[in-house]
Structures are given as structure tokens and as C-alpha cells.
């Protein structure tokens, strides 16, 4: 073999080595692309989950605000109702202390057979006052 043949064999071996290096590089590139693709898909999944969690959090905050507003409204209604009931109780106390109401209670109780002592105790009047009312009606 002469120098040209050796040179040809040397270049062929060199080309085969370069081809092997290119194939190895290509395989590593494919593997890297697969890893990058996997990472990107996981990143997209993670971003989707973050977005979903953000939406849930917004809905929870909105729901909490609505409940707080409703509770405030119910509290105001309850306060209004309590004030109304207090006024009614005050009127009932005034009415129950009126002489005509006490007279009706005593007469109805006497008619039902309730003892004058019991009527005096329940109305807050003295026994003499209860007797007087009973005697006046009879």
C-alpha cells in the first residue's frame, strides 16, 4: 500500500469515528429533548394546578365574604327584632300593671276558684286589695 491508500484508510477510519461521535451526540440530544419535554409537561401540569388552586382560593374568599355579609345582615335583623321585642315587653309590663287588667285577672281567678291569697301573690297586690276587688264585683 502506498501513501495514498494509507491516507484513504486513515480518512475512512477518521470518518467512521466522527460518524460514531455524531451518532452518540445525536442520541444524547434525543435523550435531553425527552427530558426537557417531560419537564415542560410537568411544569404545565404544575402551572395548571396552581391556576386551579388560585381559582379555588378566590372562590373560598368570595364565599367567605358573602357569608360574612349575610351574617352581618342577620345580626342587624336580630338586633332589630330584639329591640322590637323589648318594646313589646315594656308595653306588656305596663299593661299588666294597669288596674283594669289586674281587676280582670283577679275576677277571672276568683271565678275559677283560685284562693284570694294566691291571687294576691300572683298580682303583687295585698290580700285586702284583692278582697276589695272581689267584694266590689259581687
Q: Digits of tens for pLDDT over the chain (138 positions)?
A: 688 989 999 999 999 999 999 999 999 999 999 999 999 999 999 999 999 999 999 999 999 999 999 999 999 999 999 999 999 888 877 766 667 777 888 888 888 888 888 888 888 888 888 888 888 876
Count of domains forming the chain = 1
The overall pTM is greater than 0.75: no
Residue 107 domain boundaries = 97-138
Question: Is residue 48 in some structural domain?
Answer: no
Distance CA(29)–CA(2), nearest Å, equals: 40
102 found inside a domain? yes
Domain membership flag for residue 41: no
Domain contains 107 = yes
Q: Is residue 43 situated within a structural domain?
A: no
123 falls within a domain = yes
Closest to 125 (Cα-Cα) out of 101, 136, 111: 101
Amino acid at each position: 500500500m502506498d501513501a495514498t491508500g494509507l491516507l484513504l484508510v486513515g480518512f475512512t477510519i477518521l470518518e467512521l469515528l466522527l460518524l460514531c461521535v455524531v451518532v452518540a451526540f445525536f442520541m444524547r440530544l434525543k435523550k435531553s429533548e425527552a427530558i426537557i419535554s417531560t419537564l415542560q409537561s410537568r411544569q404545565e401540569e404544575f402551572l395548571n394546578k396552581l391556576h386551579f388552586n388560585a381559582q379555588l382560593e378566590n372562590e373560598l374568599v368570595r364565599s367567605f365574604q358573602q357569608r360574612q355579609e349575610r351574617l352581618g345582615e342577620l345580626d342587624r335583623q336580630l338586633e332589630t327584632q330584639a329591640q322590637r321585642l323589648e318594646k313589646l315587653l315594656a308595653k306588656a309590663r305596663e299593661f299588666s300593671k294597669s288596674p283594669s287588667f289586674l281587676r280582670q285577672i283577679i275576677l277571672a281567678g276568683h271565678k275559677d276558684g283560685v284562693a284570694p291569697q294566691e291571687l294576691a301573690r300572683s298580682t303583687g297586690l295585698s290580700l285586702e286589695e284583692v278582697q276589695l276587688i272581689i267584694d266590689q264585683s259581687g
